[in-house]
Amino acid sequence: MFAVDVASRLIHVLTAIVLLGGSTFMLLVVLPTLQSSDEATRSKIASGLRGIWKRYVHAGIALFLISGFYNYFKAMPQHKGDGLYHALIGTKIILALAVFFLASALVGRSAAFEGMRTNSSKWLTILCLLGIIIVAMSSFVKIRGIP
C-alpha cells in the first residue's frame, strides 16, 4: 500500500502543478499576448488553445477526484475528532469544486458560459486565486501533522 499512497500523492501534486501552472501561464502570458492581436487572430488562437487545454483540464479533474478522495479516506482514521482538519479539508474540497466548475466553463463550448469565456481574464484570476488558497490550505494541513 505504501507505493499506492506515494503514487496517489504524487499524482495529486503533479496535477496541481500542471493545472494551476497552466492556468497562471494563460492568465499572465497568453491573455496579455492575445490582446495585442486583431479579433480574428485572437479568436482563432484562443479557440485552438481551448481545444488542447480542455483535454488537460478534464483529465486533471478526474485525477484530482480519484487521488484526492483516496488521500482523504486514507487520512481520515488518523484525524478522527480533529475538527480543524475536517473543516479545512471540507473547505478545500468545496473550493476545488468551484475551481473545477470555472475551469470546465472556460474550456467548454456551452453558450451559457460564453460570457465567462469572453471575460476570461476575470475568471482565470478568480480560478488562480482559489487555486493558491487551496494549495496554502493543503500545505498548512500537511505541515501541521496529526495532533
Q: Tell me the per-residue pLDDT of 97-122, one tens digit each, with 9 for 90 and over.
A: 999 999 999 999 999 999 999 999 99
Global confidence as pTM: 0.93
Give the rounded percent of residues in the chain with a pLDDT score beyond 90.
Answer: 95
* Per-residue pLDDT, 147: 82
- C-alpha cell read off for 128: 488562480
Q: What is the helix, strand, coil percentage profile of the chain, to 5?
A: 90, 0, 10
3-class SS of residue 37:
coil
d(CA 119, CA 93): 25
Write the pLDDT tens digit of every residue in 39-77: 999 999 999 999 999 999 999 999 999 999 999 999 999
8 A C-beta contact, residue 119 and residue 94: no
Range of the domain at 113: 2-144
Name 138's Cβ contacts closer than 8 Å, sequence gap at least 6: 92
* Per-residue pLDDT, 24: 98
8 A C-beta contact, residue 103 and residue 57: yes
Q: How far is CA 12 from CA 28, 35, 40, 85, in A?
A: 24, 33, 37, 18
* Per-residue pLDDT, 146: 87
8 A C-beta contact, residue 133 and residue 95: yes
* Per-residue pLDDT, 5: 95
Task: Assign residue 145 a region (left: φ > 0; alpha: ψ between -120 and 50; beta: otherwise).
Answer: left
How many C-beta neighbours within 10 Å does residue 127 have? 25
Counted domains in the chain: 1
